[in-house]
Amino acid sequence: MSKIKKQSLVDQLYSQLREEIITLRYPLGSRLNVNEIQDDYGVSSTPLREALNRLQQEGLVVAENNVGVSILSLDAHDVDEIEELALTLQGAAVKLSLQRGDRAQMQQHIDEQLARYTAARSPRERVRAVFELIGTFYRYCGNQRLDSSMVAVQGQVLLLRQIYMLCPGSDQDLDLLTRVSEGLRAGDEGAILSALTAYSERSRKAIKRWLDKQ
């Protein structure tokens, strides 16, 4: 593993570890070997501690006294809680963005992500397309606190999306995502939320089946 640059060391280390957690290179519930990470990245304990603190605030790692740092573990209840919170925030973002946002720009961005999803060659590319598509509503909602609330849980949401993309049939959600675009074009808040809810329900069922097999 190549050593990272010294500039913005904590940010780089945080981003690297976050990506490895979200893409499941570290198994759920596994212990992190802090000394090994320091050796791999060529860093001291101080920036690593700061990066791990940021990951803990995002809910991606858990630190326990006399135990160390572990990747979060997930069960069916965790999946439901994360999805319910994400849907609640999405509902507020959709409502506010339809009231305040530039509808034409929102439509353009969502349609770009639909095309990106269709052309995706890997699960990770599909994850990013879906995440950016839904993120359009936060971008145009005109409420920074709402956007910040989503940022606080987006690591866990991305992790669920990554797991979902490993499940059979997860590449066949174009129908639901297209309904989001059509709802926006019609200015129909209910249609958008119905499509997002259906996507959440479909993904959480698949994720729970995946967890049961682990």
d(CA 196, CA 180): 7
d(CA 23, CA 25): 6
Same domain (yes/no): 103, 190: yes
pLDDT, one tens digit per residue, over 69-116 is 999 999 999 999 999 999 999 999 999 999 999 999 999 999 999 999
Same domain (yes/no): 124, 32: no
| Res. 5: pLDDT tops 80 | no
Asked if the structure places residue 4 within a domain, the reply is: no
Same domain (yes/no): 60, 155: no
Same domain (yes/no): 188, 147: yes
Average pLDDT over residues 137-159: 91
Q: Is residue 127 within 8 Å of 161, Cβ to Cβ? A: yes
Residue 7's pLDDT is 53
Residue 124's pLDDT is 86
| Res. 189: pLDDT tops 60 | yes
Choose the final residue of a domain: 26, 47, 71: 71
Choose the final residue of a domain: 71, 99, 125: 71
| Res. 43: pLDDT tops 60 | yes
Residue 171's pLDDT is 84
Asked if the structure places residue 2 within a domain, the reply is: no
Secondary structure of 124-183 in HEC code, one letter for each residue: HHHHHHHHHHHHHHHHCCCCHHHHHHHHHHHHHHHHHHHHHCCCCCCCCCHHHHHHHHHH
Amino acid (one-letter) located at 201: E
Can you give the pTM of this predicted structure? 0.89
Quote the mean pLDDT of the chain: 92
Same domain (yes/no): 153, 202: yes
CATH code of the domain containing 32? 1.10.10.10
CATH code of the domain containing 110? 1.20.120.530
Same domain (yes/no): 67, 91: no
On the 0-12 / 13-18 / 19+ scale of CB atoms within 10 A, 208 is middle
Tokens of 139: 């971008």
Domain that holds residue 136: 76-213
Query: Token match 């050593």: residue?
Result: 3
Asked if the structure places residue 143 within a domain, the reply is: yes
Asked if the structure places residue 43 within a domain, the reply is: yes
Q: How confident is the model at residue 126 (pLDDT cuts 50, 70, 90)?
A: very high
Average pLDDT over residues 47-68: 89
Cα–Cα distances (Å) from 111 to 4, 56, 138, in that order, read 36, 34, 16
d(CA 24, CA 72): 11
Q: How confident is the model at residue 177 (pLDDT cuts 50, 70, 90)?
A: very high
Q: Is residue 191 within 8 Å of 91, Cβ to Cβ? A: no
Q: How confident is the model at residue 51 (pLDDT cuts 50, 70, 90)?
A: very high
Tokens of 35: 């000394």
Q: How confident is the model at residue 60 (pLDDT cuts 50, 70, 90)?
A: very high
Residue 198's pLDDT is 96
- Total domains in the chain come to 2
